[in-house]
């Protein structure tokens, strides 16, 4: 048994604005899984983000939604430091915020963004060959 894709489902306040932010990062809308209350943005062949109104998202769970403490940070790997910077700058231009400064460990470079609804993402580029012992 093998996992072949990841679907990240996110409740959002404004479908149109959120779609704009994720497509600014290079994502494309899949019209087959999109409508008035839910839009699927394909970030890569194996990484898909389903943006849903809070009401639609709530229909998939009995657990309460919260705007409080963070529960998860999603991470996306890019091919280079320059690609990380480009993705972050595109997201920021479309309304995301950057909650902290970039981190550069030599072998790993990452930046963080929070989307328009506060969902946290790290964008990173790394060179496993440059890792030293104990750097994981």
The predicted-structure confidence for 22-79, as pLDDT tens digits, reads as follows 999 999 999 999 999 999 999 999 999 999 999 999 999 999 888 778 889 999 999 9
Does a structural domain hold residue 85?
Answer: yes
The predicted-structure confidence for 1-15, as pLDDT tens digits, reads as follows 899 999 999 999 999
Does a structural domain hold residue 91?
Answer: yes
**CA pseudo-torsion sign 32, 51, 42, 74:** negative
The predicted-structure confidence for 98-110, as pLDDT tens digits, reads as follows 999 999 999 999 9
pLDDT at 80: 96
How much is the pTM? Answer: 0.89
Does a structural domain hold residue 104?
Answer: yes
Residue with tokens 């497509």: 23
Does a structural domain hold residue 66?
Answer: no
Range of the domain at 112: 6-61+71-130
CB atoms within 10 A of CB 54: 13
Does a structural domain hold residue 97?
Answer: yes
Residue 39's nearest CA partner among 76, 7, 61, 74 is: 7
Residue 81's nearest CA partner among 73, 89, 91, 71 is: 89
CA distance 99 to 113: 6
pLDDT at 110: 97
Q: How many domains does the chain have?
A: 1
Q: What's the CATH number where 116 sits?
A: 3.10.180.10
């Amino acid at each position: 048994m093998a996992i072949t894709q990841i679907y990240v489902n996110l409740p959002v306040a404004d479908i149109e604005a959120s779609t704009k932010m994720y497509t600014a990062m290079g994502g494309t809308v899949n019209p087959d899984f999109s409508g008035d209350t839910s839009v699927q943005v394909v970030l890569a062949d194996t990484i898909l983000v389903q943006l849903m109104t809070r009401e639609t998202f709530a229909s998939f769970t009995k657990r309460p939604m919260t705007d409080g403490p963070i529960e998860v940070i999603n991470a996306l790997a890019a091919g280079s430091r320059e690609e990380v910077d480009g993705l972050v700058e595109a997201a920021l231009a479309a309304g995301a915020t950057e909650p902290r400064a970039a981190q550069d460990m030599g072998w790993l470079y990452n930046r963080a963004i929070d989307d328009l609804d506060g969902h946290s993402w790290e964008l990173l580029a790394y060179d496993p060959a440059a890792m030293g012992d104990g750097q994981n």
